[in-house]
Amino acid sequence: MAFEDLQAELSLLLNQMENQPEDKHELYLLIREKLNEMRAFGMPVPEDLVRLEQELEAQFIAEIPPKK
């Protein structure tokens, strides 16, 4: 997949995330998948998206209740 295609898909996913916050987990997983594709193909990964990925992951980890 071309770099421009991946960027376009990421942009679309980010727009969806802003417009449909109830699907935040699913969109996070899709963004993560696309970033991993970029990494696998040796493409440059935008730093702001890497930070977003890390921030969302931290939020989701914080939402997990501790095991008893």
43-60: average pLDDT: 86
Q: Taking each helix axis as running N to C, give the angle between helix 3-19 and helix 24-40, from 0 to 180 degrees, rounded to the nearest 10.
A: 170
Could you tell me the two tokens for 18?
A: 């802003």
Long-range contacts of 14-17 (CB under 8 A, 24+ apart): 14/52
30-57: average pLDDT: 87
pLDDT of residue 22: 64
pLDDT score of 2 more than 80: no
Residue 9's Cβ-side half-sphere holds a number of Cα atoms within 13 Å equal to 16
pLDDT of residue 40: 93
Give this prediction's pTM.
0.62
How many CB atoms are closer than 10 A to CB 43?
15
How many CB atoms are closer than 10 A to CB 22?
7
